[in-house]
């Protein structure tokens, strides 16, 4: 569900469909036939496993974006990216993603998150709509793949692993929580070095890779 002026995941999110890479298979018709390269699609990579369950009532509230994979929809954000989740009258979760821009102002985008199953860990976040009317799909573009027992931090991606987010209730993680969040990303098939720190006032000031410190 998080947040910036376009789908992000933080329940915020991401969801670009990527074409599977092409592999070449050589088919030989017979002794006198030349090998004919035939393009075939590689098997699609399975979506990452989510955590066993998410209590969405506990997941509500403010989150700081500690780190994220660089994404075009956040290009206007310089620092202080946050997400705020709140309940709606229709049983979904409202999403408000905000950040400080390079021009010294602020940017806010609103969306809506809908749980796709009873675990509460796989959701579809839509930024198309308003009020109580949002265009949702069955695509899991917000998957919680790591979560602290007390909901103090979370790691999020989508079914294609296009996005990656490290969220926290505070602007920075402790060293122990940083290690745990890196491990959660790795288990989900995301290299922590492809995720970069998000500058937050009073905490981190760099955009270094999340694997570095």
> pLDDT tens-digit profile of 152-197?
999 999 999 999 999 999 999 999 999 999 999 999 999 999 999 9
Over residues 194-210, mean pLDDT: 97
What pLDDT shows up at residue 2? 52
Quote the CA–CA distance of 135 and 130 in Å, as a whole number. Answer: 9
Q: Give CA 185 to chain center in angstroms.
A: 11
Q: pTM for this structure?
A: 0.80
Per domain, the residue ranges of the chain are 59-197
SS3 readout for 188-213 = CCCCHHHCEECCCCCCCCCCCECCCC
SS3 readout for 8-55 = CCCCCCCCCCCCCCEEEEEECCCCCCCCEEEEEECCCCCCCCCCCCCC
> In terms of pLDDT, which residue wins out, 27 or 205?
205
Q: Give CA 84 to chain center in angstroms.
A: 15
59-197 homologous superfamily: Calycin beta-barrel core domain (2.40.128.20)
Model confidence at 41, pLDDT cuts 50, 70, 90, reads low
Residues paired with residue 115 on neighbouring β-strands, in sequence order: 123
């Amino acid at each position: 569900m998080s947040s910036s002026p376009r789908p992000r995941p933080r329940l915020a999110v991401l969801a670009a469909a990527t074409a599977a890479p092409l592999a070449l298979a050589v088919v030989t018709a017979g002794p006198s036939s030349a090998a004919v390269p035939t393009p075939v699609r590689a098997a699609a990579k399975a979506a990452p496993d989510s955590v066993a369950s998410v209590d969405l009532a506990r997941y509500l509230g403010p989150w700081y974006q500690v780190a994220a994979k660089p994404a075009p929809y956040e290009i206007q954000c310089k620092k202080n990216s946050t997400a705020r989740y709140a309940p709606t009258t229709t049983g979904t979760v409202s999403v408000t993603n905000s950040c400080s821009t390079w021009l010294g102002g602020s940017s806010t985008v609103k969306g809506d998150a809908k749980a796709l199953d009873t675990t509460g860990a796989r959701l579809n976040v839509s930024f198309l709509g308003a009020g109580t009317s949002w265009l949702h799909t069955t695509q899991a573009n917000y998957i919680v793949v790591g979560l602290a027992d007390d909901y103090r931090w979370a790691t999020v991606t989508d079914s294609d692993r296009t996005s990656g987010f490290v969220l926290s209730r505070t602007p920075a993680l402790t060293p122990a929580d940083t290690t745990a969040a890196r491990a959660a990303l790795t288990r989900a098939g995301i290299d922590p070095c492809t995720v970069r720190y998000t500058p937050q006032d009073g905490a981190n000031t760099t955009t270094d890779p999340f694997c570095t410190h």
